[in-house]
């Protein structure tokens, strides 16, 4: 049978949206005549990103609970009931063969209604500290695909399959040499290059750090490829020089990775999985402003295996210079970190997740 119907939900952030789209793409590759429907939260970025990827999406009136008492919190029960009713209607009309959730608030009502209608459900959890929606859905899910060990503290052990996170393999199959890559960014092939990644929008605290440490980088003889994010490019482009390249966005991540000797990055699940495949020494500066502080937990999982260095935002002023200079001056440490992070790569994650979905179809 080739006319399968798949319903997917994941959103709020790119970290939930991208895995859902990657899974859909692999399902579409295997089942070209299949039908797909995404369900997201109205006014969230999935309502734009999913159609751009070529898929239909329907929106639910749902949002998260704020940490302080607000009018939005008082509206939450009404939104939840409305979303459950709408999700039940969507499931009844679409009649999916499998429902797939990758996290985010909209996936809660959608998968709850799919499960109650007898539809097999698959969860995909990107982080080492499970999100609240997936934790609530875990009891009724058929399979839970994870990227880290030790996830039985959140989910029923018998449902867990370690697959890894979907990866943009086209970005990290590094074919170019460092010479070609540094030439692309107009950098010096003979100098050590530090790649700074703060995400597409940018990370304020990391940008503040790099601005403060530019003299230190110069003293160490380092050149900087600084992706500051589109929100901050106007503020920081004045620092552009022969040894400092300031970019709002990196269009050629494969070349950026090839040019880098050391990478400084946030620790979102997608970034971590991608950097495992790259296999270069990484200093993670996790964002403390995310749900359940999951970026810190992601970074800790690598630090525990001697696969990365982690610096908390509160410790940057005291520890950054010593940590980076020690890393840059220790070839052995660089090789150890690169070797160990590479061991954690799971490049076939998307295929393995879809393998598990296929088992439910049969």
pLDDT, tens digit (0-9, with 9 covering 90-100), for 275-308: 999 999 999 999 998 877 889 999 999 999 999 9
The answer on 179 and 87 residing in a single domain is no
The answer on 230 and 207 residing in a single domain is yes
The answer on 244 and 269 residing in a single domain is yes
The answer on 352 and 336 residing in a single domain is no
Q: In whole angstroms, give the CA distance from residue 80 to residue 87.
A: 10
Domain span at residue 298 reads: 170-344
The number of beta carbons lying within 10 Å of the beta carbon of residue 162 is 14
pLDDT at 225 over 60: yes
The structure tokens 């300031």 sit at 246
Give the DSSP H or E segment for 183.
helix 178-184
The number of beta carbons lying within 10 Å of the beta carbon of residue 152 is 12
For the annotated binding site for UDP-N-acetyl-alpha-D-glucosamine, the residues are 13-15, 127, 168, 200, 295
Contact 324, 283 (CB under 8 A): yes
CB within 8 Å of 220: residues ≥ 6 apart? 192, 324, 325, 328
The answer on 54 and 89 residing in a single domain is yes
pLDDT at 344 over 70: yes
Q: In whole angstroms, give the CA distance from residue 13 to residue 4.
A: 27
The answer on 231 and 189 residing in a single domain is yes
The structure tokens 């996790």 sit at 286
Q: CA dist 300 to 108, 127, 267, 284, 356, Å?
A: 28, 11, 10, 9, 28
Here the tokens at position 29 are 């590759």
Here the tokens at position 313 are 């935002």
The answer on 203 and 157 residing in a single domain is no
CATH code: domain of residue 21: 3.40.50.2000
Higher pLDDT, 74 or 362: 362
The number of beta carbons lying within 10 Å of the beta carbon of residue 345 is 18
The DSSP bridge partners found for residue 161 are 145
The answer on 111 and 211 residing in a single domain is no
The answer on 148 and 194 residing in a single domain is no
The answer on 198 and 217 residing in a single domain is yes
For the annotated binding site, the residues are 13-15, 127, 168, 200, 295
The answer on 98 and 201 residing in a single domain is no
The answer on 191 and 308 residing in a single domain is yes
Task: Supply the mean pLDDT for the chain.
Answer: 92
DSSP 247-275: ESS-S-HHHHHHH-SEEEE---HHHHHHH
Higher pLDDT, 202 or 239: 239
Q: In whole angstroms, give the CA distance from residue 81 to residue 320.
A: 48
pTM for this one? Answer: 0.86
pLDDT at 218 over 70: yes
- With bands split at pLDDT 50, 70 and 90, how would you rate the model's confidence at 353? very high
Domain tally, the chain: 2
Q: In whole angstroms, give the CA distance from residue 226 to residue 223.
A: 10
- Residues 106-140 have pLDDT tens digits of 999 999 999 999 999 999 999 999 988 999 999 99
Contact 280, 193 (CB under 8 A): no
Q: What is the pLDDT of residue 169?
A: 65
Say whether 249 sits in a helix, a strand or coil.
Answer: coil
């Amino acid at each position: 049978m080739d006319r399968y119907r798949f319903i997917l939900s994941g959103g709020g952030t790119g970290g939930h949206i991208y895995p859902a789209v990657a899974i859909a793409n692999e399902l579409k590759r295997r089942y070209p005549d299949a039908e797909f429907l995404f369900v997201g939260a109205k006014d969230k970025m999935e309502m734009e990103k999913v159609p751009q990827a070529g898929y239909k999406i329907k929106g639910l009136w749902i949002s998260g609970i704020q940490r302080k008492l607000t009018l939005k919190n008082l509206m939450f029960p009404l939104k939840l009931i409305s979303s459950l009713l709408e999700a039940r209607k969507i499931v009844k009309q679409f009649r999916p063969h499998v429902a797939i959730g990758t996290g985010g608030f909209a996936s809660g009502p959608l998968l709850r209604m799919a499960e109650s209608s007898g539809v097999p459900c698959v969860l995909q959890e990107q982080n080492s500290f499970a999100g609240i929606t997936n934790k609530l859905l875990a009891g009724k899910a058929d399979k839970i695909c994870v990227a880290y060990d030790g996830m039985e503290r959140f989910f029923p052990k018998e449902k867990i399959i370690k697959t890894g996170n979907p990866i943009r393999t086209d970005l990290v199959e590094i074919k170019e040499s460092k010479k070609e890559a540094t030439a692309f960014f107009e950098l010096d092939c003979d100098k050590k290059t530090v790649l700074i990644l703060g995400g597409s929008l940018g990370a304020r605290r990391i940008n503040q750090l790099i601005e403060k440490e530019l003299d230190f980088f110069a003293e160490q003889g380092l050149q900087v490829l600084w992706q500051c994010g589109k929100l901050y490019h106007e503020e920081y482009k004045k620092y552009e020089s022969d040894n400092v390249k300031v970019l709002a966005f990196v269009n050629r991540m494969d070349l950026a990775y090839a040019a880098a000797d050391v990478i400084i990055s946030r620790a979102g699940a997608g970034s971590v999985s991608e950097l495992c495949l790259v296999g270069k020494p990484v200093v993670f500066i996790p964002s403390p402003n995310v749900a359940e502080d999951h970026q810190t937990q992601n970074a800790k999982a690598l630090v525990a295996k001697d696969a990365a260095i982690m610096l908390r935002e509160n410790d940057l002023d005291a520890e950054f210079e010593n940590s980076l200079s020690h890393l840059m001056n220790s070839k052995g440490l660089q090789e150890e970190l690169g070797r160990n992070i590479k061991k954690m790569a799971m490049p076939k994650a998307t295929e393995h997740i879809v393998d598990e979905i296929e088992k439910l179809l049969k």
